[in-house]
Amino acid sequence: MKKVYLSLVAACFAGLTFSQTDSLTFESFDLQGQDYYNGSDLNGSIVINQFTLTNNYNTDWGSWDGFAISRVQDSTTAGWQNQYASFAGSGANGSEKYAVWYGGEIEFAGYMHVSSMQVTNTTYTALTMRDGDAYSKQFGSINGPDGQPDGTNGEDWFLLEIIPMDENNMVIGDTVKFYLADYRFANNEEDYIIQDWTTIEFNSFYAKKIAFKLSSSDNGDWGMNTPGYFALDNLVASPTVGVKTLAKNDLKIYPNPSNGKFTVNSTESGEITVINAVGQVVYSGQVFGQTNIDLSAQTAGVYTLQYVTTTSTRTEKIVIR
């Protein structure tokens, strides 16, 4: 397989322990003779063991978002009518069923350490990138879907971002980036569209929820032209043991708001991470007792402070003005 560029920047959660691993697979999901399930029965979220997958169905439009469960095996039919098919032609490792993402997140029953997951393109998205259509460009072409140069010089890409979050929908670690297609190589023979199930291995990925984001080099007046789907299977995670939410009196941050200079008073030794509004880590370091932190060089705004010890975790908002 051609090169896959994967950014895995580890967050530090030293000392956490994990129990027996659990895998999110879809073979046990009852499709009741259907080729796919998209939530048309209005049951809402899809729950499989410790995992809850977003699902919303709009009866007015007959449309869905979040996750669908599929066993469609069609890697040749182009167009949105084939939106439930994986380009690999099956689930991961030759399994029958898998999930298709079109917005939404996965929530765990508790905080979990995620080890790996397998992903691939859907047939709809892959064939659109490979061949183009009336709304989306052919990857590698200098022209957009209107037949005019689009400024990319054919250096196209389709990016999946995997985002760890806490129970309050705050980002609690570094986003993992995985290119489902990349046409930016100097040697065109290295350009690729992912067509097989590919395993993403995580170094240290700890979360209560996982959110996903897709972006592309092909965009128009209404946003991304590339169909915003991918397929997912075999997410492997371990429930954490002994992690609790830190009591409010065990962590004090003052002054807040501040000019960027503030003090953290903690009763346990732990790791502090401060994240800005776009998910970038602007500070990380060990704290114990009274610790002074200087973020006065940062722009004014609201920041997320994560505090993790061997036995507890805490998330707070801090304001720099």
Q: What is the pLDDT of residue 17?
A: 41
| CA nearest to 247, candidates 262, 268, 264 | 268
Q: Which of 73, 70, 86 is nearest to 29 (CA)?
A: 70
What pLDDT sits at residue 183?
98
Q: Is 233 domain-assigned?
A: yes
Kindly state whether residues 297 and 178 are assigned to the same domain: no
| Comparison of pLDDT for 302 and 4, the residue scoring more | 302
Q: Is residue 1 part of a domain?
A: no
Residue-wise pLDDT tens digits, 208-254: 999 999 999 999 999 999 999 999 999 999 876 544 444 445 788 99
Both 50 and 74 in one domain: the answer is yes
Q: Are residues 108 and 196 in the same domain?
A: yes
Q: Work out the number of other CB atoms within 10 angstroms of the CB of residue 316.
A: 18
At 244-288, the pLDDT tens digits run: 444 445 788 999 999 999 999 888 778 888 888 877 889 988 888
Q: What is the DSSP string of 269-281?
A: EEEEEEE-TTS-E
Spatial distance between the Cα atoms of 201 and 214, rounded to a whole number of angstroms: 19
Mean pLDDT, to the nearest integer, of 107-114?
Answer: 89
Q: What is the pLDDT of residues 155-203, one digit of tens each?
A: 999 999 999 988 888 888 788 999 999 999 999 999 999 999 999 998 7
Q: Are residues 236 and 253 in the same domain?
A: no
Last residue of a domain, one of 209, 241, 273: 241
- Rounded to the nearest 5°, which phi and psi values hold at 47? -110, 120
- Answer for the pair 171, 207: CB distance below 8 angstroms, yes or no: no
**CATH code (residue 312):** 2.60.40.3080
pLDDT, one tens digit per residue, over 29-77 is: 999 788 999 999 999 999 999 899 999 999 999 999 999 999 999 999 9
Q: Say which residue, 23 or 82, is predicted with more confidence.
A: 82
CA 98 to chain CA centroid, Å, is 17
Domain CATH number, residue 170: 2.60.120.1350
**Number of domains making up the chain:** 2
pLDDT reported for residue 273: 87
Q: Are residues 29 and 142 in the same domain?
A: yes
Question: Strand, helix or coil at 128?
Answer: helix
Domain boundary pick from 241, 263, 283: 241
pLDDT of residue 300: 92
Domain's final residue, options 241, 272, 290: 241
Are residues 163 and 218 both part of a single domain? Answer: yes
Higher local confidence (pLDDT), 34 or 3: 34
CB 237 within 8 A of CB 178: no
Report the distance separating Cα 152 and Cα 112, nearest Å: 39
Q: What is the pLDDT of residue 131?
A: 98
Could you tell me if 53 and 163 lie in one domain? yes
> What is the predicted pLDDT for the residue at 287?
85
Q: Which structural domain, as residue segments, surrounds residue 315?
A: 244-320
Together in a domain, 187 and 120: yes
250 shares a domain with 235: no
CA distances to 142, 263, 292, 304 from 283, rounded to whole Å, are 40, 14, 12, 11
